[in-house]
Amino acid sequence: MLIDLHSHSTASDGQLTPQELIIRADNRQVSILALTDHDTTDGLGAAHQTITELDLKIKLIDGIEITTNWLNHEIHVLGVNIDVQHAGLVDLILLQKEKREIRALEMGRRLEKANIDGVYEGAKALAGEGAITRAHFARYLVEQGVAPTFAKVFDKYLSRGNIGYVPHNWIDMHLAIQVIHNAGGQAILAHPDNYKLSNKWMRRLFTEFKDADGDAMEVARGQQSLQIRLQLAMWSKEYELLASQGSDFHFIGRWRDLGKGLHLPDIATPIWKDWAIFNALKEK
Ligand code: AMP
Ligand code: MN
Ligand code: MN
Ligand code: MN
């Protein structure tokens, strides 16, 4: 059974609409998909509607990926099985939206000082109604020929220490976990291997995430060495966190796709093991 609990649509920085995303996941035989856009749940309505209208088999989990602050590190926390109407969650999303907008304007100003004009407007046009992210800035800058690739544009303009980088002030990681819980969901520490933390700091993060009542951590990602996957699985055991898996799909690429290359090492305990949706599918 293919399970993918991390994906993005045009509601944030993904390149497929929620409808296209759902159809692609269903075609690829994904049984359970979580849509987890950055700081928004706006894509979920259209995604559910697509399933109903086309009478698809796929099960959709309501999710979000919240950008948070932990000791001045930008840490992503996934919420799954959330009640999207929960007032506390709705408030958090509004706050994050405002933070994104303010940051985007400031990024535009900083890049203008470096004589790169019109970047805010360009990124905003790419984001449309969706949450504006650095990925939109990156796409625009690549389209304008300012840098040849996504990676280069981040390296040169958008990551910490570069001209277009604005120090973040995201909501606190503990608060994000609390809000996810209040909205009835489970909190997953996203891609721990992505933060460039030393093992010592990684352990500190696991300890605090667990102490903050976090439920799970991502163990299996699309592209990842077996060694790292096993290490993460062992850490999930050691810190008594459940294990999750997700492609972090943003667009169709040569090596990346929905549900691709995902499975948990046997020692890990899957976050979905007690989910009614999963057990019903298993019994079929
Ligand atoms: P934001 O949450 O607005 O800071 O945007 C971060 C998003 O930009 C991430 O979710 C990724 O999709 C993308 N991103 C961040 N760093 C890189 C990178 N080095 N190369 C390509 N994409 C990146
Ligand atoms: Mn992204
Ligand atoms: Mn992330
Ligand atoms: Mn993501």
In CATH, the number for domain 103-158 is: 1.10.150.650
- CA of 154, closest atom in ligand 1: 19
pTM of the model: 0.98
Q: Which of 6, 8, 13, 101 to mutate to test the pocket of ligand 1 (most atoms within 8 A of CB)?
A: 13
Regarding the beta carbon of 39 and ligand 1, being less than 6 Å apart is answered no
Assign 53 a pLDDT band (cuts: 50, 70, 90): very high
Kindly give the distance from the C-alpha atom of residue 9 to the centroid of ligand 1, in angstroms, as a whole number: 14
Distance CA 14, CA 1 (A): 24
Percentage of the residues of the chain whose pLDDT score is greater than 90: 96
- Tens digit of each residue's pLDDT (9 = 90 or more) over 148-157: 999 999 999 9
Label residue 284 by pLDDT band (50, 70, 90): confident
* For the CA of 100, the nearest atom of ligand 1: 3
Over 90: is that where the pLDDT of 103 sits? Answer: yes
Separation of alpha carbons 250 and 134, rounded Å? 13
Domain parsing of the chain, residue ranges? 2-92+169-283, 103-158
Atom of ligand 1 nearest to the CA of 67: 2
pLDDT in tens, 35-46: 999 999 999 999
Distance (Å) from CA 13 to ligand 2 centroid: 5
Please list, in sequence order, all residues whose beta carbon lies within 8 angstroms of the beta carbon of residue 153, skipping any fewer than 6 positions away.
137, 138, 141, 142, 146, 147
Residue identifier of the C-alpha nearest atom 16 of ligand 1 = 154
Q: What is the mean pLDDT of residues 161-176?
A: 96
Whether the CB of 150 sits within 6 Å of ligand 1: yes
154 lines ligand 1 (CB under 6 A): yes
Give pLDDT, residue 24: 98
**What integer pLDDT is reported at residue 101 of this predicted model?**
97
State residue 129's pLDDT score: 94
Given a contact cutoff of 8 angstroms between Cβ atoms, the answer to whether 40 and 69 are in contact is no
Q: What is the CATH number of domain 2-92+169-283?
A: 3.20.20.140
List, in sequence order, every residue forming a beta bridge with 60; answer none if it has no partner.
Answer: 33
133 lines ligand 1 (CB under 6 A): yes
* CA 146/CA 143 separation, integer angstroms: 8
Mean pLDDT of 28-37: 98
Report the mean per-residue pLDDT for the chain. 97
> Atom 18, ligand 1: which residue's CA is nearest?
151
Expressed in angstroms and rounded, the spacing between residue 8 Cα and the centre of ligand 2 is 7
Write the pLDDT tens digit of every residue in 118-168.
999 999 999 999 999 999 999 999 999 999 999 999 999 999 999 999 998
Distance from residue 83's CA to the centre of ligand 1 (Å)? 26
- The predicted model gives 246-274 an average pLDDT of 96
